[in-house]
Structure 1
Amino acid sequence: MKPNHGAPKCVARLQSEVSVMAENREKARGRPGRKPAENAAASSVQVLDRSLKLLELVAEADGAVLTDLADQADMAPSTVHRLLTSLAQHGMVAHDGETGAWTIGVKAFEIGTAYLRFRKLGTISRPFLKQLMEVSGETANIAIEEDGDVVFISQAESHAPMRAFFRPGRRGPIHASGIGKAILSTWADSQIEVLLGGRSLQHFTDKTRDTLPMLLIDMAEIRSRGWSIDDEEHTLGMRCVAAPIFNEYGEAIAGISISGPAVRLPDEKVAALGPIVRAAAEELTKVMGGRLKRS
């Protein structure tokens, strides 16, 4: 008996008809089939899940070839190659052409060290924040610089009824923040111009340094003084004194500050607190293994 080569086509056609009939039944019951946008979203999530799984496997293996990764991930080698190529374009993995091994990329390393820096800074800074809060009676904060903004990661909140509060994770404008300006002051004017020259500096109050020339004048004063002042530049009635924290390369990666109502932080108190905040920043830099930047 000759094999029936038409059977697979019949089966496929029958399966297709059954699928259409099932979808029509769902629609009749008020449950329409998935929309194209929903299908696209589900597909995107699946790609992300698979990519993250591969990234995890590459990290664990410390160098693995494509076939091994495909076996471990239970994916087709062609799919694994496509996902790895996309990850490599973003610097998350790297490929050795001679051995064929895939390893973790520089960008993944940068993300990992950023997380470690966040955890390390948040933990080590606690006693410094508490001490500054007790000395000043005001809220002490610590924040990092990220993509031209400041991100607050921890604080020791004042016990006063009226006080400053910065939720961890909150982002702030670098040009209208005590910590932001403290970090900027460690950069050359040319670097500041590259970062902020192409963007509009948001105006918050009449005291906001919302033009590059005004900000650069402020930078010169901060460098001479050794600490920055947010003089109601973001929020009327609130002042801040801040100083930068440096990493092992002498780069300012964060800042520590004291913030409170302007009525409790007059000029003479700000002048007295400035050196205290700067000393705390320098000591925290040393404890973290950082290196102070020399003028």
Structure 2
Amino acid sequence: MSDHVLKVVEEEGFGDAGAKSFFKMARVLDCFSRTNGSLSLTQLVEGTGLPRTTIHRIVASLREIGMIDQDGRRGDYRLGLRMFYYGSVVLANLDLNRHAHSHVVSLHQVTGEIVHLHMFDGSHMVCIEREEMGDARNTTLTTIEAAPIHCTSVGKAFLAFQDQRLIRKIVAEEGLAARTVNTLATYDALAENLALIRERGYATDEEENEIGIQCVGAPLRDSRGRVFGSISVSGPTLRMPLSRLSGLSHAVTQTANAISAELGWDPSKKRR
């Protein structure tokens, strides 16, 4: 929840007391992330800027409905399983799953390699469907598979088409960990690669996340042309040398565009 929205609600008087409480709860929940999965009451106070008594009241309410759990030994708070349930329900009912499934299967049949469909969750790329050896699997309903954003084709295909401020924010928060010797671990190197991705319309992972695995990915767009996710084909480097990555890029990009078109994107009105 943005500081601006909360300020408007609280200072301009929009909404009733219940609405204001909801926005404050959202601010508390926004403090949690993959890198900050467990937080103390003091950290929540610092992260939200809200009074300690207010935070204490909010986390007590969130605990009661299962949206926050508390570590019995340390006393720290973490998101509860009810949040996972809500997230699973949302992902299971996304239009993306319905529109993309046949395209994911088709791309796997054409390439013979693993196909992943990912969405951005605020810090990582989360896999919502995978087609491997003819067996489609919706991973979010069992275990969420997350991919780094700076060193995977799905991550870079998403990142390249975002506002520069968001790119810098993600890099600042998540860092550029060198997963392999090929990882683009500096901002300048990554920025140069993102510019190339914008120019050619697809991204590659040339053993940047895992030695022995190479991938090619393309961005998915919503009806307004905004990139919100990506689709990729990946496989062993022995089967997917650079020459094949280049050849597969056309099929991956076509598939991404077809899914985007079903979601309402007009290819004649391309936007970043």
- Corresponding residue for 1:229? 204
SS of residue paired to 2:217: strand
- The TM-score, its normalising length taken from structure 2, stands at 0.63
Q: How many residues align?
A: 193
What are the within-5 Å matches in structure 2 for residues 79-228 of structure 1? 86-90=21-25, 115=90, 119-158=94-133, 167-168=139-140, 169-228=144-203
Shift, 1:87, TM fit: 2.3
SS of residue paired to 2:116: strand
Shift of the 127–275 alpha-carbon distance from structure 1 to 2, 3 Å rule, reads same
**Considering only CA atoms, is the larger Rg found in Structure 1 or Structure 2?**
1
Give RMSD over aligned pairs: 3.0
SS of residue paired to 1:203: coil
Shift, 1:224, TM fit: 1.7
Shift, 1:189, TM fit: 3.4
Shift, 1:149, TM fit: 0.8
The answer for unaligned runs of 5 or more in structure 2 is 1-15, 28-85
What are the within-5 Å matches in structure 2 for residues 64-79 of structure 1? none
- Tell me which of 219, 235, 243 is aligned to 2:218: 243
Quick one: distance in 2 between partners of 1:207 and 1:122?
A: 33
Shift, 1:289, TM fit: 1.5
Quick one: distance in 2 between partners of 1:196 and 1:291?
A: 30
Quick one: distance in 2 between partners of 1:167 and 1:260?
A: 19
Shift, 1:167, TM fit: 4.6
Quick one: distance in 2 between partners of 1:207 and 1:177?
A: 11
SS of residue paired to 2:238: helix
What are the within-5 Å matches in structure 2 for residues 12-27 of structure 1? none
Quick one: distance in 2 between partners of 1:123 and 1:249?
A: 19
Q: Deviations over 1:97-149 (max 9, x none)?
A: xxxxxxxxxxxxxx89x926862212221111111111111011100011121
8 Å CA contact 1:246–1:291 kept in 2: the answer is no
Shift of the 152–217 alpha-carbon distance from structure 1 to 2, 3 Å rule, reads same
Quick one: distance in 1 between partners of 2:219 and 2:251?
A: 13
Shift, 1:190, TM fit: 3.9
Quick one: distance in 2 between partners of 1:214 and 1:142?
A: 26
Shift, 1:194, TM fit: 2.7
* 1:258 maps to amino acid: V
Quick one: distance in 1 between partners of 2:92 and 2:166?
A: 23
The answer for unaligned runs of 5 or more in structure 1 is 1-65, 67-80, 93-110, 160-164
Relative to its length, the structure with more helix (as a share) is: 1
- The TM-score, its normalising length taken from structure 1, stands at 0.59
- Corresponding residue for 2:36? none
Quick one: distance in 2 between partners of 1:118 and 1:143?
A: 15
Shift of the 249–90 alpha-carbon distance from structure 1 to 2, 3 Å rule, reads farther
- Is the aligned partner of 1:294 residue 2:271? yes
- Corresponding residue for 1:10? none
Quick one: distance in 2 between partners of 1:261 and 1:268?
A: 13
* 1:221 maps to amino acid: L
Shift of the 91–236 alpha-carbon distance from structure 1 to 2, 3 Å rule, reads closer
- Corresponding residue for 1:106? none
Quick one: distance in 2 between partners of 1:262 and 1:156?
A: 19
Shift, 1:84, TM fit: 6.5
Percent of pairs with identical residues: 27
